[in-house]
Structure 1
């Protein structure tokens, strides 16, 4: 009984990475859009770095999700 409760708590803590990824992505693309709207000519130069950051932030969220699933069902 206590083991199930500990699994649920641990999975919930691991799933917090998904919330952090959502906040990070919103911040990233909000700032990208602000920069692109301020200087439309530089939009093509600004496109590469946010896409790399998107991949890294999304990977962090997916790692948190995988760890939560391993804790619950492993």
Structure 2
């Protein structure tokens, strides 16, 4: 097996793991955040606007982690910088 094939295999496996773990964990975190927010709103309905605003900011920050993982996996699949290094040598 040549070096280009081994880099391609490692890149595809890494991209798959990055996407799997990078989407699964933020989804769990978002579920816990929404659950806590709903419990808080149920206990204090007057604070609902503040809790909702804070929830949306937190969800956006959590979702950005999943988006970064997706971008890294797309870079590894389509614009892998390691292939240029191997082809240059």
Is 1:33 the counterpart of 2:38? The answer is yes
In 2: Cα distance, 1:12 partner to 1:22 partner: 17
2:63 counterpart residue number:
58
**Number of equivalences:** 74
2:7 counterpart residue number:
3
Tell me the TM-score normalized by structure 2: 0.75
Secondary structure, aligned partner of 1:47: helix
Larger Rg: 2
Q: 5+ unaligned residues in a row in structure 2: which ranges? A: 80-89
Tell me the TM-score normalized by structure 1: 0.88
After superposition, the C-alpha distances for 1:16-55 in whole angstroms (9 at most, x for unaligned) are 1111111111111111011111221111221221111111
Q: 5+ unaligned residues in a row in structure 1: which ranges? A: none
